[in-house]
Structure 1
Amino acid sequence: MKVLEFLKDTGRQAVSAAVFSLAATAAQAAVCNNPNLDVVVLGSGGPELDDRRASVGYLLRENGKARILVDFGSGTSLNFERAGAKIEDLQAVLLSQFHVDHANDVPALVKGSFFSDRSRDLPVYGPSGNKTVPGLNQYLKRLFGADGAYSYLSGFLDGSESFRLKPVTVSADTAKPTVFSASEGGFRISAVPVTHSIIPALGWRVEKDGCAVVFSSGTSNMGRTLDKITSGANVFVAHNAIPEGSTDRIALRLHMPPSEIGRIAGQSGVRNVVLSHFMNRTEHVQPATAQAIRSRYAGALAFAQDCDIYSVQSGKKTGSCAK
């Protein structure tokens, strides 16, 4: 009986592997035709203050110019400068959630824009809220509104400055996980609600010329909603905030283990995985993390450092903004 059950399980695994292989092959049919796109890791850490990393933030550039900013956590503003980024070149800002380590430097971005040459509105996309966390509009008002913490910057909301922030709220309701899509400056951006315990959060996908980058945000991926936007991604920036085998119930509701990252990448036909959002509990277990991911994914895998630059077309590291 045990032998029979083993054969049945083996058969199911073989069929599943074949299905996943076909899905991955189909997903890889698209060709990235833009060699001038790259991703700068502005911050690869989390909320801890002893990890020697900036918190979460990423910059998608084209021909070396800033185009799409994804999150802007503590310390990322310095690496934004190191990357040669200019606020006037941004097509959009995408915020995945409002935890401090994802959004703390947003006021620094707005203040810094006062000294830029930007004159057109800046679209800011972010999640809807719930009883615990405000939605995007309320979040920006609490920061920059007339009665906000930084009310002296209210002109960037009411239009009395040289440009205004243009908020676009995206549903973060995981009970109804529909994919949101929009276009900004030649880029196609998509988002899907992802589970991050009680914090509304979004996963992001940015595409141009057949090239796609997916940013997982912090998520346990309960419900597997992130899978909706990962198909055929050239680069999958996945957050590695908990180790494989974690038994921390709170952490498991917030973040996915390495094996889940591998499953997503393997089944979605992802070309390159770049791990980020490290914490002390994952910083020193990278071999075990790689092994868990490799059990389900055979593509390229990198462990990011602050300022790392990755080509979207090849997925390879091409330099550092720190030099």
Structure 2
Amino acid sequence: MTLLGTAGGPGGHVRRSGIASLVTAGGRRLLVDAGDGVVRQLAHAGHSVNDIDEVFLTHVHDDHTAGLPALLTFRHTMRGGPLTLIGPPGTRALCDGILAYLQANTVIRGREGRLPDPATLFTTHEVDPGVIDAGAGLTVVAAENTHYTLTAFDGAQRSYAFRFEASGRSIVFTGDTGPSTAVEELARGADILVCEMVTDVDIASAPPPVRAHMRAEHLSPTQVGRLAARAAVRTVVLSHYTDAGPNELAAIAAEFDGTVIAGEDLMHL
């Protein structure tokens, strides 16, 4: 697994690209979320846009999807093969918008050499929580987390955590979430828990109307430690944060005695 980007929230960061991770499992390369800068980060990691076999979206907030139009349009221009996008309800509407965005480039680039219909570029699967049909050698399980507890979407939008298992190894991505028994159960005994975290500094830097969401629908350092301890994971890798200083790491360690790694862009685990 490679952490391509570890910055949560909208806006640019000096040291971090938007949320995205690359998982190699079952002989395939899986992109988990596609935040801003994902194409550049793939290049840094030695991969092209045509190397990705599937994209898994935890939810469709812009900090997790802003790089997806670039990934898809460059793959289209480079004549990449069909791509499968898997995510919660809301994924299809997002992809329909990206298809509309691709039309202008298709017309212009088509004069340079015919491009296929962008509608043939990717297939979208909106999935329910549970086991996802991922093919031989790979098991993928989704669980609905608590990232949307303050807002009722009537099922039109949902937010997921994912667990990937292959070759005796398990990696769980919390996605964006507040405290969640469903995520705790999903992460039970995982080798690696890639866990979102927001700090007091992150909350203070957010616009005032967003701060209630930050407190209720994300994890504080203490809550990260409690989740990891209750799930009995081996290693926690922090993501979706700006900085993890001694105070934050101490708060996690007070609840969890396993390994804690402050994730950085392009870190390979």
Query: Which residue of structure 2 lines up, in the alignment, with residue 262 of structure 1?
Result: 225
CA deviation map 1:112-144 (0-9, x unaligned): 21254643x32211111xxxxxx1112111220
Residue among 249, 271, 286 paired with 2:245: 286
Q: CA deviation at 1:260?
A: 1.7
Secondary structure at the aligned position of 1:54 is classed as coil
Secondary structure at the aligned position of 2:101 is classed as coil
Query: Which residue of structure 2 lines up, in the alignment, with residue 192 of structure 1?
Result: 143
Distance 1:295 1:227 in 2: 18
1:110 correspondence with 2:72: yes
Distance 1:137 1:81 in 2: 27
Query: Which residue of structure 1 lines up, in the alignment, with residue 121 of structure 2?
Result: 164
Distance 2:158 2:265 in 1: 26
Q: CA deviation at 1:105?
A: 0.7
Secondary structure at the aligned position of 2:33 is classed as strand
Query: Which residue of structure 1 lines up, in the alignment, with residue 31 of structure 2?
Result: 69
Secondary structure at the aligned position of 2:199 is classed as coil
Q: Which runs of 5+ in 1 are unaligned?
A: 1-38, 129-134, 172-177, 311-323
Q: CA deviation at 1:225?
A: 2.0
Secondary structure at the aligned position of 1:256 is classed as coil
Residue among 226, 229, 240 paired with 2:186: 229
Residues 180 and 192 of structure 1 are in contact (CA less than 8 Å); yes or no, is this contact kept in structure 2? Answer: no
Query: Which residue of structure 2 lines up, in the alignment, with residue 24 of structure 1?
Result: none
> Highest CA radius of gyration, 1 or 2?
1
Residues 179 and 228 of structure 1 are in contact (CA less than 8 Å); yes or no, is this contact kept in structure 2? Answer: no
TM-score (norm 2): 0.81
Listed as ranges, the matches of 1:1-323 within 5 Å are 39-46=1-8, 47-61=10-24, 67-116=29-78, 118-119=80-81, 121-128=82-89, 135-144=90-99, 148-152=100-104, 160=117, 164-171=121-128, 178-184=129-135, 186-197=137-148, 198=151, 200-221=158-179, 223-243=180-200, 248-279=211-242, 283=243, 286-310=245-269
Counterpart amino acid of 2:38? T
Counterpart amino acid of 1:151? Q
Q: CA distance change for structure 1 residues 71 and 154 in 2, over 3 Å: closer, same or farther? A: farther
Residues 69 and 93 of structure 1 are in contact (CA less than 8 Å); yes or no, is this contact kept in structure 2? Answer: yes
Task: Count residues with an aligned counterpart.
Answer: 246
Residues 91 and 185 of structure 1 are in contact (CA less than 8 Å); yes or no, is this contact kept in structure 2? Answer: no
Secondary structure at the aligned position of 2:193 is classed as strand
Counterpart amino acid of 1:207? E
Counterpart amino acid of 2:92? N
Q: CA distance change for structure 1 residues 185 and 111 in 2, over 3 Å: closer, same or farther? A: farther
CA deviation map 1:200-259 (0-9, x unaligned): 3111111101111111111113x4221131011111101112349x79433112201112
Root-mean-square deviation over aligned CA pairs: 2.7
Distance 1:231 1:107 in 2: 34
Distance 2:182 2:130 in 1: 9
Residues 25 and 166 of structure 2 are in contact (CA less than 8 Å); yes or no, is this contact kept in structure 1? Answer: no
Secondary structure at the aligned position of 2:124 is classed as strand
Counterpart amino acid of 2:102? Y
Q: CA deviation at 1:185?
A: 5.7
Distance 1:73 1:88 in 2: 17
Counterpart amino acid of 1:210? G
Residues 56 and 277 of structure 1 are in contact (CA less than 8 Å); yes or no, is this contact kept in structure 2? Answer: yes
Residues 198 and 221 of structure 2 are in contact (CA less than 8 Å); yes or no, is this contact kept in structure 1? Answer: no
Q: CA distance change for structure 1 residues 163 and 184 in 2, over 3 Å: closer, same or farther? A: farther
TM-score (norm 1): 0.69
Distance 2:162 2:78 in 1: 27
CA deviation map 1:24-80 (0-9, x unaligned): xxxxxxxxxxxxxxx1111111223244311100001359x8611000101122111
Q: Which runs of 5+ in 2 are unaligned?
A: 108-115, 152-156, 205-210
Q: CA deviation at 1:179?
A: 2.6
Q: CA deviation at 1:271?
A: 0.9
Distance 2:121 2:38 in 1: 22
Q: CA distance change for structure 1 residues 154 and 220 in 2, over 3 Å: closer, same or farther? A: farther
Counterpart amino acid of 2:93? Q
Distance 2:255 2:238 in 1: 15
